Amino acid sequence: MEFLVKFTNQSQGRDRVFRTTQYACALSVYLLRNQSNREALVAKLKGLESNMSAGRKLFRLGNTLHSIDAAKRTVQIADPVLCLSLTAGNLGRALYYICDNLLWLRNVGLLRDVDKERWSLHASRCYLFSLIMSLVRDSYAIGQLMVQRVRDGEFKRKMDAHLGESPEVAEAVVPQLDALLFLLLHIFKSHPAVTLDTLKNICDLFIPLDKLGIYQSNAGVVGFCGLVSSLIGIMTLVQPNLKLKP
């Protein structure tokens, strides 16, 4: 099991490069869609996007095992919120990869009795559930950091100075929007791992929401959000200190 997890993990970098290329092509196709003199280029970009998507499905064949193994680790976390959100998120990803693998087997002709549209919707639902759990984890991390900062005397003096009020007045203003924004901006600036993970998950959220028809956007929005989240994924792979842990 451990050998298989390590082996399939090696494809993460290639998958993220393919994903970046896929969504960059999707965004480019959307931006060039009304230019009649670029029809040949648009056709090439669509073909490249399709090839990148097919290649990613091949890379993800072993990711179910990796997600299950990750769930085994996160279920041992003492913090109940982290344990629940991370474990549920990993299990959601495992189910997503199972659906994705079935779709790949259907596309290559190894399974013919697979309803493509139905399983595609199942995959999107599992993906959406996984992202929601990831955002719960991000919100929990932000909440903990906010509590720590509010209890920090030095930070409280900085906030008082920023609001331009006396400590008594500033303390009453804390729940208001200006103080909340100041606190959030400080957290996002001083904790880039939390910032990047939150931004990545918010961007990814548009993909299943659009697919499921819950929040319809357009191919340009989906392409842009997918591209941003893919670039963040590459950043966290190149710089592991930017990856939110656990």
Q: Confidence band (pLDDT; 50, 70, 90) for 6?
A: low
- Residue 169 in domain: no
Confidence grade of residue 159 (pLDDT, cut at 50, 70, 90): low
In the chain, how many domains are there? Answer: 1
Residue 183 within any structural domain of the chain: no
pLDDT (tens digit per residue) in 136-153 = 999 999 999 988 887 776
Give the closest residue to 93 by CA, choosing from 66, 55, 59, 53. Answer: 66
Residue at 110 is within a domain? yes
Helix, strand, or coil (residue 245)? coil
Task: Output the CA torsion sign for 199, 20, 4, 105.
Answer: positive
- Which residues span the domain enclosing 41? 2-151+191-242
Q: Is residue 144 one of the residues assigned to a domain? A: yes
Tens of pLDDT, residues 107-121: 888 888 889 999 999
Helices of type H across 75-115: 80-107
Residue 65, domain member (yes or no): yes
Give the pLDDT score at 169.
45
Entry pTM: 0.87
Give the pLDDT confidence of 199-217 residue by residue, as tens digits: 999 999 999 999 999 999 9
Tokens representing 149 are: 């900062």
* Residue 210 within any structural domain of the chain: yes
The answer to the question of residue 180 being in a domain is no
Is residue 135 situated within a structural domain? Answer: yes
